[in-house]
Amino acid sequence: MNKIVVAIDGPAGAGKSTIARIIANRLQILYIDTGAMYRAVTLELLNKNISIEDIDKIEEILKHIKIDIMDDKVFLNNKDVTHEIRQQVINRTVSSVSAIPQVRKKLVDLQREFARNRSVVMDGRDIGTNVLKDADVKVFLTASADERSVRRYKEILLKGLDANLGEIKNEILARDELDSTRALNPLKKAHDAAVVDTTGKDIEMVVEEILKIIKPKL
């Protein structure tokens, strides 16, 4: 198989990580969840009580932070934070952290390093427009806001936690608004990305649709 680079972008809750992980698995290549990396930085700032206005301290943190992605796990300074980074407090804060230019620069460099000279499926907000502009396949994955909210709601209930559908929808819409209006590398469809709308489709249908786009490039 030739080297293949697949970029998947889209709004919160569109199913990017679920779909991207399955595709990487089927192709037997690396999967990188860049949202998890922004979440890990957010967790570190919260743990250390650092305000998003305190750029000096943030720069100091970024100099020493260690983020690793291994299989399905995310490590922050060698500690497994896979579950911690999915908390509501992170959902509410991550878009403000990801708008900080110093944070983006650090993580984009790291993402490009992870993808250097290898086949990869990478998902996020600016992969096709910025991180991996030369990706062989670019997909913009989307779904209606209602469907994205219901999916998140069910996910939380399945974990045995409490959830409020209205609050989830508001949080998702607020995150989309911040992510798509920030100055630096906002969430945007790349001009050469294929739009895949997952509204009303199950996971396997979406995976098949994307694999059809990828197959001719293999």
Residues in contact with ligand C5P, counted by CB under 6 A, come to a total of: 14
Binding mask 112-151 for ligand C5P (x = CB under 6 A): ------------xxxx------------------------
Q: Is 98 in the site for ligand C5P (CB under 6 A)?
A: yes
Q: Which amino acid would we find at residue 88?
A: Q
Binding mask 176-195 for ligand C5P (x = CB under 6 A): ---x----------------
In three-state secondary structure terms, 116 is: coil
Nearest of 43, 46, 52 to residue 97 by alpha carbon: 52
Interface segment toward ligand C5P; rule CB under 6 A; list 35-43, 51-59, 139-147, 204-212: 35-43
Please list every residue from 36 through 65 that binds ligand C5P, using CB under 6 A.
Answer: 38-39
| Sign of the CA dihedral with 161 first, then 75, 7, and 27 last | negative
- 8 A C-beta contact, residue 119 and residue 3: yes
Alpha carbon 210 to chain centroid distance? Answer: 17
Distance from C-alpha of 181 to C-alpha of 156, rounded to nearest angstrom: 27
Closest distance to ligand C5P from the beta carbon of 39 (Å): 6
The residues binding ligand C5P (CB under 6 A) are 12, 34-35, 38-39, 94-95, 98, 124-127, 175, 179
